[in-house]
Amino acid sequence: MKVLFVMVKEDYIDPMNIELLSALAKREGAETFLNVLEHNDLKAEIKRIRPEVVAYSAKTGESSVLIRANRWIKSELKQSVVTIMGGPHPTFNHARMRLDREELRVTDAAAGVVASQVVEDTALDVLAVGEADESWPELIRRLTRGQEIDSIAGLVTRNNRRNDGKVNLRSRTSFLDDLPFLDRDLIYAKTRLKDFGMRSFMASRGCPFICTYCFNAKFNQMYRGKGKTVNRYSVDRMLLELEDLIRHHPTQFIKFYDDVFTFRTDEWLLEFADKYPKVIGLPFHCLTRADLVRRDPGIVDCLKRAGIKSMSMSIESGNPFIREHILKRGMSEEDIRFAFELCHRNQINTFSNTILAIPAPVLPAATDQEFEKKTQHLMDQLSQTYKVNLNHLKLDLPLPPRIELAERNQLLQKLFAIGLRHRAIDYDVESIEANIKYRVVFGEFPALHPYPGTEVTQYTIDYGAFDGDFEALHQNYQTESPFTCFSSKEKLEQVNLSLLGLVLLTIPGPESQWSKGIRQITYRHLIQKRWTRFYFLLYFLAKSYLVGLKIYPMRYSWRHILRTVRESFFSERLKHSKAEGESFFVRKVGLEGPVSEVLGGPWQS
């Protein structure tokens, strides 16, 4: 059984999904291959390998590129190949994905809360929903034996699709130690990762928190009653695989990619802190939450003892209203301040993600002629949409038909105190300032993107900012906001601020007058300029310096550094470009369409 995995592009993070799927397939006796679309050799490799199974793991955005590739593959190989897609996109969007030769009519019940009737014509044969640790190898076994596949739990086929959109799921994989070592050889043989000194690993799966921008809350609902939410490798099993990794591949740094690496100072963390420096002894990076660190500062002590070099703790928004009422982060400003200060005292460099361009209510001006009307509408929103207890504001509701200027200003001060701001960009500036205030070493500031399976997606639809068309989304969230509630001027400011925000983090002495002056010039003038390409260059230089020396420090030859900088520059440029997805479809003689379009093409095009 020949299995071909197809992924869109290379990155500096191991595609652990494909590495695990390949290992599971090999354990069933399959022969596995990899194609990276950016290498521009899909057509030749399909003819050379003649795979019996083609598999994709897709996030929303990149899914459209992979689906386009799949349609060509099916047109070439017809029914001699079985194609399957798993990952977040089909897990939360399978009801809208038409399979090969399928008549699909999407009902409101199947589409879910978004109730989008838009159907994706995928030409796929199978969709994998949720965890596939058992369904994927079972699929390989049955195909090898020529058996039917419609009864495999966790898979959607033409014959087993339900009208209500539900899928028969297995229990979660609770004993991770039984999984095979990741098949890194498959990836390293065809990508630059073989020469990159940082290796990624996940010590656990699952996250119990309900952040609205993440699919974990919906994922947990899907698996309710089907096993524990969080499952871990044992420390010994994890270290055994890391030892094997280091033995076979040059490694300088370990990045633990868990959603939350540790929740408390428990027996697992104490064992890790004791054994990791003795067995592995390499610097590492991991992610946790600021509120967990404040609740249990011993987490930092253990990680420091184990040899941690840098830590991710996402702020997500510096504005309290957005953080609690829209993103539902469940952490206070004091939680964030304490955690970052503790890391700073322990010389642990910090990395934080902060989301910009979040649709949120804005305050009217005190002199607005429609002040009363707009404010009453805002009050209704606060009560009904955001579940804010207005009794705390001590207001006379409903508002009188006419409010004097002094009373208007008093009312605005109360609303400002709970986190509401006058302009959309003010929320984003506040988030940049929070990163500077907490002395974050490295920060990313992506725009919010709505994805299937997240509560914030339904919020943006109800807000009137998004129409539910996921296929119109860019495959990377580090680009212009997709929301219609922002003007072109606001989107320009958001993009520029996302780039300059990191640059501002590099300026020393954040409390000095000259540093504050630079920030005010940035917020008031620079983000309004159409100098985005220049800002990207500044961003790239700042990111290269901070990532290379502070977050994931490693040693390389000057030749390797120059090559990596060049490759990273083009990769980062396309991450921030609206044309990234289309860069895979350059005009040539080849695959599909009357003038024929080739999947692949120079990643730098």
pLDDT above 70 covers a percentage of the chain that reads 92
Tell me the C-alpha distance between 444 and 498, whole Å. Answer: 7
Q: For the residues 448-476, what does the mean pLDDT come to?
A: 86
Query: Are the CB atoms for 237 and 183 separated by under 8 Å?
Result: no
Query: Are the CB atoms for 475 and 465 separated by under 8 Å?
Result: no
pLDDT above 90 covers a percentage of the chain that reads 80
What's residue 595's pLDDT?
29
Strand pairing of 2-7 and 53-57? parallel
What's residue 584's pLDDT?
42
What's residue 470's pLDDT?
80
**Amino acid at position 329, single letter:** R
Question: Does residue 398 have a cis peptide bond before it, meaning omega lies within 30 degrees of 0?
Answer: yes
Instruction: Evaluate if residue 578 carries a pLDDT over 90.
Output: no
Q: pLDDT band at residue 117, thresholds of 50, 70 and 90?
A: low
Q: For the residues 540-555, what does the mean pLDDT come to?
A: 95
Neighbours of 17 (CB within 10 A): 18
Tell me the per-residue pLDDT of 166-181, one tens digit each, with 9 for 90 and over.
999 999 999 999 999 9
Rg (CA), the chain: 25
Tell me the per-residue pLDDT of 587-605, one tens digit each, with 9 for 90 and over.
333 333 332 233 332 222 2
Supply the DSSP string of 236-247, one letter for each residue: HHHHHHHHHHHH
- Sole residue written with tokens 């379009």: 597
Please give the angle made by the CA atoms of 432, 12 and 276, to the nearest 5 degrees: 90
In this predicted model, which residue has the larger pLDDT, 391 or 185? 185
SS3 543: helix
Instruction: Evaluate if residue 423 carries a pLDDT over 60.
Output: yes
What's residue 477's pLDDT?
53
Tell me the per-residue pLDDT of 232-291, one tens digit each, with 9 for 90 and over.
999 999 999 999 999 999 999 999 999 999 999 999 999 999 999 999 999 999 999 999
What's residue 567's pLDDT?
77
What's residue 563's pLDDT?
79
- Sole residue written with tokens 């390797």: 560
Q: Which residues contact 360 (CB under 8 A, 6 or more apart)?
A: 319, 321, 322, 326, 420, 421, 424, 427
Neighbours of 137 (CB within 10 A): 19
What's residue 476's pLDDT?
58
Instruction: Evaluate if residue 434 carries a pLDDT over 50.
Output: yes
Instruction: Evaluate if residue 306 carries a pLDDT over 90.
Output: yes
Tell me the C-alpha distance between 64 and 31, whole Å. Answer: 27
What's residue 572's pLDDT?
74
Q: pLDDT band at residue 425, thresholds of 50, 70 and 90?
A: very high
- Sole residue written with tokens 């000057």: 558
Tell me the C-alpha distance between 238 and 182, whole Å. Answer: 11
Please give the angle made by the CA atoms of 591, 46 and 159, to the nearest 5 degrees: 90
Q: For the residues 409-416, what does the mean pLDDT come to?
A: 94
What's residue 582's pLDDT?
44
First-to-last CA distance in the chain? 35
Q: For the residues 106-112, what does the mean pLDDT come to?
A: 60
**Amino acid at position 391, single letter:** N
Name the token pair of 433.
Answer: 């300032």
Element (H, E) at 199: strand 198-201
Tell me the per-residue pLDDT of 257-272, one tens digit each, with 9 for 90 and over.
999 999 999 999 999 9
- Sole residue written with tokens 């500036």: 429
Backbone angles phi, psi at 512, to 5 degrees: -75, 155
3-state secondary structure 332-380: CHHHHHHHHHHHHHCCCEEEEEECECCCCCECCCCCCCCHHHHHHHHHH
Q: pLDDT band at residue 107, thresholds of 50, 70 and 90?
A: low
Backbone angles phi, psi at 36, to 5 degrees: -110, 120
> What ranges do the domains of the chain cover?
2-171, 197-359+424-555, 372-417
Element (H, E) at 312: strand 308-312
Tell me the C-alpha distance between 347 and 451, whole Å. Answer: 36
Quick one: CA dihedral 405, 411, 412, 414, positive or negative? Answer: positive
The listed CATH number (1.10.3470, 1.10.287, 3.30.1490, 3.20.20) that belongs to domain 197-359+424-555: 3.20.20
Element (H, E) at 457: helix 455-463
Backbone angles phi, psi at 255, to 5 degrees: -110, 110
For the chain, the average pLDDT equals 90
* 354-368, 370-384, 509-523, 590-604: segment of lowest average pLDDT: 590-604
- Sole residue written with tokens 């001699």: 80
Q: pLDDT band at residue 576, thresholds of 50, 70 and 90?
A: low
Q: Crossing angle of helices 488-505/532-546, nearest 10°?
A: 30
Q: For the residues 187-197, what does the mean pLDDT come to?
A: 94
Quick one: CA dihedral 201, 205, 209, 215, positive or negative? Answer: positive
CATH top class, domain 2-171: alpha beta
Neighbours of 282 (CB within 10 A): 17
What's residue 574's pLDDT?
65
Instruction: Evaluate if residue 8 carries a pLDDT over 70.
Output: yes
Residue 234's nearest CA partner among 199, 202, 203 is 203
Helices (H) and strands (E) in the chain, counts: 22, 18
Tell me the per-residue pLDDT of 31-85, one tens digit each, with 9 for 90 and over.
999 999 998 899 999 999 999 999 999 998 899 999 999 999 999 998 899 999 9
Instruction: Evaluate if residue 396 carries a pLDDT over 60.
Output: yes
Name the token pair of 236.
Answer: 């010994």
Instruction: Evaluate if residue 349 carries a pLDDT over 50.
Output: yes
Tell me the C-alpha distance between 153 and 134, whole Å. Answer: 9
Q: Which residues contact 79 (CB under 8 A, 6 or more apart)?
A: none
Supply the DSSP string of 460-491, one letter for each residue: HHHHTS--S-GGGS-SSSSSS---TTS-HHHH
What's residue 569's pLDDT?
79
Neighbours of 432 (CB within 10 A): 25
Residue 590's nearest CA partner among 61, 69, 65, 36 is 69
Q: For the residues 302-313, what does the mean pLDDT come to?
A: 98
What's residue 234's pLDDT?
98
